[in-house]
Chains A and B, each alone.
Chain A
Amino acid sequence: GAGVSQSPSNKVTEKGKDVELRCDPISGHTALYWYRQSLGQGLEFLIYFQGNSAPDKSGLPSDRFSAERTGGSVSTLTIQRTQQEDSAVYLCASSSQGAGTEAFFGQGTRLTVV
C-alpha cells in the first residue's frame, strides 16, 4: 500500500476483554515500531521490530501487552484483560532498513476501554 495502515481506526471495548490492533507497514520496510499516545501526553515507545524479531520490548507496560510480527510484514499488538488506563491512541510506524531512514506513521487506533 501507499502508507502505513492501521486497523481498526477506533475500538471501544469493555474492561477485562482482550483486543488486537493491527499494523500493515509500507511494503519492503523492515523496521516497525509501536507507540502509545495517551490524552495530553507525549508518545510512549512500546516495541520495535527488525524483521520478525523484537530486539527491544522494554517499552511494553505490563505482561498484558504482547506483539508479534509475521513474514516481516504485518504486526499485531495484543492487550489482554484491558484496563481503563490502556485507553489511548496506538500508533505504528515503519521504515526501510537502516536507522538513518525516514519513518512513516499510520493514522493510529483509538482504543477506549469502558
Chain B
Amino acid sequence: KQEVTQIPAALSVPEGENLVLNCSFTDSAIYNLQWFRQDPGKGLTSLLLIQSSQREQTSGRLNASLDKSSGRSTLYIAASQPGDSATYLCAVRMYQFYFGTGTSLTVIP
C-alpha cells in the first residue's frame, strides 16, 4: 500500500527565506506527483505537477523535483512571503491519489 510522508509537519520562517519541503513515498509505480496548497477552510489549489518521467518543474518562485527511484520529492520555495503561509500537500497518483499529511508553513513578516 502506498504511504506518503511529509517532513516537516510544521515550519515557521522569517519572510525572505528560501525553504524546502520534503515528501517521500513507498511505491515508485506512480503516474505523477502533484503539489497542492490548502488555505484554512478552503479546498486544494494545484501548484505543480511532475510526471513520473520528469525530474523537476518550475512555476515562479516554486520548484519541485522528483526522484522516483528513491521515492522522494522536494518543493523549493524561494524568497518566501507571508502570503505563502498555508498547508502544503503532496500527492502521488496511481489511479487514485495518495496524500501526505501536509506541511503547515508560516512565513513571519
Contacts and interface: CB of A to CB of B under 8 A. Distances in A.
Interface of A: 6, 33, 35, 41-43, 45, 48, 55-56, 59, 91, 93, 99-100, 102-108, 110
A99 B93 contact: yes
A27 to B, nearest CB: 17
Interface of B: 31-32, 34, 36, 41-46, 49, 51-52, 89, 91, 93-102
Contacts of A102: 34, 46, 49
B21 to A, nearest CB: 15
A6 B96 CA distance: 19
Contact of B44 (A41, A99, A105): A105
- Majority secondary structure, A binding face: strand
Contacts of B98: 45
Contact of B99 (A42, A59, A106): A42
Contacts of B89: 43
14 contacts: A6-B43, A43-B89, A43-B91, A59-B96, A93-B97, A99-B94, A99-B95, A100-B32, A100-B93, A102-B49, A103-B46, A104-B46, A105-B46, A107-B42
A6 B42 CA distance: 12
A103 B96 contact: no
